[in-house]
Structure formats: structure tokens, C-alpha cells
Amino acid sequence: MSFNTVTIVGVGLISGSFALGLKDKKLAKHIIGVSRTEASGKKALELGIVDEVLPLKEAVLKSDFIYVAIPVDATLPVMKEIMDLITDKQIVADAGSTKNFLCSALADHPKRDRFVATHPMWGTEYSGPEAALHNAFVGRVCVICEKEKSDPQAVSIIENIYKDLGMDLVYMDAAAHDMHAAYVSHISHITSFALANTVLEKEKEEDAIFELAGGGFESTVRLAKSNPAMWAPIFMQNRENVLDVLNEHISQLRKFKACLEKENYDYLWELMENANKIKRIIKDSRESESPESGVGKSGVGVGESESGVGSPEELSRSRESGSREPGVGSRGRSRVD
């Protein structure tokens, strides 16, 4: 299906890459951008991401399909305005990294069935129109939440768009999505932010960091370059799930700390061997990287709207059927506290 007019609300990494994908696949004849800032709208026009920039109301009234990819704290008021404007012929989808808050807020809206809640699990640490990429979503997973609450034809159309963009589909309810996202995405960002702060605090000589930093350090702290305006609202909206996984992560760090303090190197070895089991779930990036995407090593597989986790396997091994929800793994034995 090809739309006559599509509006993307937000003209940054996710929405911009989505718009480029629609153009590349000839799924939209005309794309309107809605931007919070004049500069971003102008840049999106210059880069050919959008064909026109308009205020939200005017854009919505002209469009067949509205795609919202903005920070999650701004999404709800914008979505409410959009939902109050649309007709029974229009479709709305979002790309937010949290789902339960938005889906609950829109649960009783009279046009709820025109909304399809989605989360394309891809991103990089960069933002803005300049960060948008062709073929960005190839080989990645898109989560569709509360499918049963949306119009079947609208769901089918959105499914086909994501499939045309090269994505695999996973289905789950909004609460399950947020729990799993905390484990495979949100904790990765908190860990990266914390590690960056640790190194900046302990290593006062910035030249030393630059000279000694190897690939392992760079890949681990890369997410610390992510935009706080995007990530602070995600942590706040998914607070309970993030706290749960953060407590488990701190528990794991304490085990490593206790091993070193007590010189329990056998258990240290065991902890690392247990961690190696992740190899069964996550493919090597050299295997999963898409050569057509144009994304360098620093941009592949971050997997979150406006930056997040990596390959599809990090979210789930299931495809389209949604028969298996992504797990968080089994917890290891606790010998040291």
C-alpha cells in the first residue's frame, strides 16, 4: 500500500529514518514533517527527509497516516491532540520506547482503534535529522503492542510497512514490553551513563582517556553519548521496571566486588563463564550487521528509539507469531554478598 500523504511528528533519528524508508520503498507520495524547532524542520527539508513542514494540526488534517517519534514525555499530549483530530479513515502509530503509560492513557479514547502502538527496536547514540539513515531498520525487531485493541486493517497496514522496511515483528502487551525493554535496553543506557561518570570522576586527565581507550571501552560507553532529553523521560516513565533490573544489576556488581575482596577467584571465573551464555542469545555484531544500512560500527544495533539496544535477538528469538516473549535469563547462584 502506498499513502498519498504521511506526517512524521518529530524529524530526528527514528522518524527521519522511517521517512527515508517510506520514500525508498515508494510507500508515500508526500511526507510532511512536524518539528518542535524551525532549524530541525529546515534541515529535514534540506536533506530530503520530508517534502514539507507544517504545524501539527494542519499536517494531521492533510494526512492518511501519522507517525509519532518524539521523546516519551512529549508524546502523550501530542498524541491526544492528534487523536482528537483524526477521522475513522486515518491511522496513527508511535515509536516510543515505553508503551504502558501511553496505551493506558489512550485506552478509552473513542478513536483508540485507529492507533497502533509500535516500538521499532533500533537506534544510535545520535539525534536530529542529520542522524537519519537509509535502510536503518533492516534485520531489526519491531514490537507491536495491544494489537487486539487496534483496527485489524490498520494493524495489517502497519505490519506491512515494517516488513517492507525489513523488520521482524514481535507482539506483546504494553506492560510486558516495558518490563523486557528495561532488561534489554534501559539498563544498558544507565550502565553506560554510570560507567562514563565513573571514568570521568576517577580519570581526571582527559588526554589519558583518549589515548588509552580501546574498542571495548568505546563500545561500552558509547550509549553515554545519548541525549538526556530522550532518556531521562524513558527512565522516569518506566521507573518501576528500571529499578527492578537496576537492583539486580547492582547485586551482580556486588558479587564481582566480593569475589575480588575475598580473593574468591573460582567464583569469579564461574560468574564470567555464566555471563558467556549470552552468546547463545546475541549474535556477534559482525554477523548481524547489515552492509546496506550504511551504519558504521558505532551506529549498528543500538536498537532503541533515539538510541537503545542491539540486534533483534536481544529482545526476542520469536518472529511475528509472538509465541514467546523475550526473557531476562536465569539468575545465577549467589555465593557472595
3-state secondary structure of 33: strand
Ordered by where they begin, the domains of the chain are 3-174 (3.40.50.720), 176-282 (1.10.3660.10)
Low-confidence ranges of the chain (pLDDT < 70): 204-215, 283-337
Question: What residues pair up with 215 in beta bridges, in sequence order?
Answer: none
Mean pLDDT of the chain: 84
pLDDT of amino acid 181: 93
Q: How far apart are CA 67 and CA 168, in angstroms?
A: 19
Condensed to tens digits (0 to 9), the pLDDT of residues 296-328 reads: 333 333 334 443 333 334 333 333 333 333 332
Residue of 127, 131, 149, 160 whose CA lies nearest to 294? 131
pLDDT of amino acid 66: 98
pLDDT of amino acid 206: 65
Residue 73 contacts residue 151 (beta carbons within 8 Å): no
Q: Residue holding cell 558467556?
A: 276
pLDDT of amino acid 284: 56
Condensed to tens digits (0 to 9), the pLDDT of residues 166-221 reads: 999 999 999 999 999 999 899 999 999 998 898 887 776 666 666 666 667 777 78
